[in-house]
Amino acid sequence: MIKAGIIGSTGYAGAELARLLYQHPEAEVVWYGSRSYIGEDFSSVYRNLFRMVDAKCLDDNMEALAEEADVIFTATPQGFCASMVNDNILSKTKIIDLSADFRIKDVKVYEKWYKIEHKSPQYIPEAVYGLCEINRKDIPGARILANPGCYTTCSILTLYPLVKEGLVDPDTIIIDAKSGTSGAGRGAKVANLFCEVNENMKAYGVTNHRHTPEIEEQLGYAAGREILLNFTPHLVPMNRGILVTAYANLKDGVTKEQIQEAYEKYYKDEYFIRLLGHGVCAETRWVEGSNFVDIGFQVDPRTKRVVAMGALDNVVKGAAGQAVQNMNLMFGLLENTGLQQLPMFP
Ligand SMILES: NC(=O)C1=CN([C@@H]2O[C@H](COP(=O)(O)OP(=O)(O)OC[C@H]3O[C@@H](n4cnc5c(N)ncnc54)[C@H](OP(=O)(O)O)[C@@H]3O)[C@@H](O)[C@H]2O)C=CC1
Ligand SMILES: CC(=O)N[C@@H](CCC(=O)OP(=O)(O)O)C(=O)O
């Protein structure tokens, strides 16, 4: 059994990790880390796991946890993992970080967009960006695994084959994305109060959302050069779900058949990517609670653009599910072990 510790287990991403790992046949949680609930029953905070999890919340002492765990998940705010990681911890355990601390290779870019000083830039070069469908071969050997963001996972997977195959002009990409409110975490914030979110929709982070450089970096690797794009997130009154609608100019003569072929080339054998085909719109309700990403597209012959659409559950494939998928790869398990939950509906 893989012994797993969760730092930040009482947040939305951490609690989803607890749910998924409870159902995982090859892993057990040995540490439910928290900051505000130390000493309280984990299942009194998350009663969906009442009578399932019989454990008290512990602190966030990663040194002590490293003695017990084969892998530590840090489902904590930006900056926490980078401020804690050290050689001693890494000599004893692996880290899967759900924050952005090790996602961006250029520390100056991280510090500019996140507006915090990176406390351990020496570990950035070795960290592996854990977008399994694209970086699978690098994941098994990782000591520090940077789990991609929720918007970024959906945006990159939706556009990757089109950029990699040179079917679109990468300088024309516009990503319009929507997220359910759990994407903002459990911490109390006025902007996330019921009356602020319910019956409302709004864009935020326009031209400056911190996921922009992460998407640009990864799609830049696919394009073979630096790219700039527009990414506009929106908050919508749902609990879970990310929907990406991405636009790009097609290169001359590119057909919908070529686009379909590109998606199939990269994803036809991917368990977690469901290709919907031309003319089918991805919907968040069909992936809720699962680790699936649904991708559809439509070519507009009038404007010579493609509109590509992706949907995922932000706390599953966008966070905890992808983190477990990465753990499976790091420990030599089948990638979908413990991750075969079907989407729930209604
Ligand atoms: N929510 C989502 O959809 C996604 C989240 N992520 C990332 O996952 C991480 C966690 O996000 P999320 O679960 O939404 O956040 P939450 O605010 O819901 O939870 C944060 C967790 O971290 C703990 N925590 C808060 N501040 C500190 C601190 N200073 N030191 C140590 N622990 C602290 C909290 O403890 P306590 O509850 O005890 O106060 C809680 O367990 C973030 O980096 C986020 O960017 C990534 C993809 C998607
Ligand atoms: C709805 C909402 O507020 N979403 C968060 C992003 C989700 C997240 O947790 O960020 P990472 O994926 O980078 O870890 C935001 O826009 O800041």
Model confidence at 62, pLDDT cuts 50, 70, 90, reads very high
Domain with CATH 3.30.360.10 in the chain: 151-314
DSSP notation for 167-195: -B-GGG-EEEEEE-GGGG-SS--GGGSHH
Residue nearest to atom 13 of ligand 2 (CA): 149
Q: Are strands 242-249 and 305-312 parallel, antiparallel or unpaired?
A: antiparallel
The ipTM estimated for the assembled molecules is 0.98
- What CA–CA distance (Å, rounded) separates 163 from 255? 15
- Secondary structure of 237-287 in HEC code, one letter for each residue: CCCCCEEEEEEEEECCCCCHHHHHHHHHHHHCCCCCEEEEEECCCCCHHHC
Q: Give the pLDDT confidence score for residue 137 in this predicted structure.
A: 97
99 lines ligand 1 (CB under 6 A): yes
Q: Give the pLDDT confidence score for residue 9 in this predicted structure.
A: 98
Model confidence at 187, pLDDT cuts 50, 70, 90, reads very high
Q: Give the pLDDT confidence score for residue 338 in this predicted structure.
A: 98
Q: What is the mean pLDDT of the chain?
A: 98
Return all residues near 322 (Cβ < 8 A) that are at least 6 apart: 130, 131, 132, 147, 148, 153, 291, 316
- What CA–CA distance (Å, rounded) separates 301 from 213? 30
Tell the residue number behind the tokens 């719109």, with chain if given.
281
Give the pLDDT mean for 138-165.
Answer: 98
Q: Give the pLDDT confidence score for residue 81 in this predicted structure.
A: 98
pLDDT digits (tens, 9 = 90+) for 69-91: 999 999 999 999 999 999 999 99
Q: Give the pLDDT confidence score for residue 291 in this predicted structure.
A: 98
Model confidence at 40, pLDDT cuts 50, 70, 90, reads very high
Domain with CATH 3.40.50.720 in the chain: 2-126
* Cβ neighbours, 10 Å, residue 122: 11
CATH 3.40.50.720 is the classification of domain 2-126: yes
Q: Give the pLDDT confidence score for residue 8 in this predicted structure.
A: 98
- Token representation of residue 24: 């995982």
Q: Give the pLDDT confidence score for residue 276 in this predicted structure.
A: 98
Best of 76, 189, 314 to mutate for ligand 1, by most ligand atoms within 8 A of CB? 76
Q: Looking at the domain 151-314, which fold is it?
A: Dihydrodipicolinate Reductase; domain 2 (3.30.360)
pTM: 0.98
Q: How far is the CA of 8 from the centre of ligand 1 (A)?
A: 6
Within its chain, how far is the Cα of 196 from the centroid? 25
Percent pLDDT > 90 in the chain is 100
Q: How far is the CA of 80 from the centre of ligand 1 (A)?
A: 10
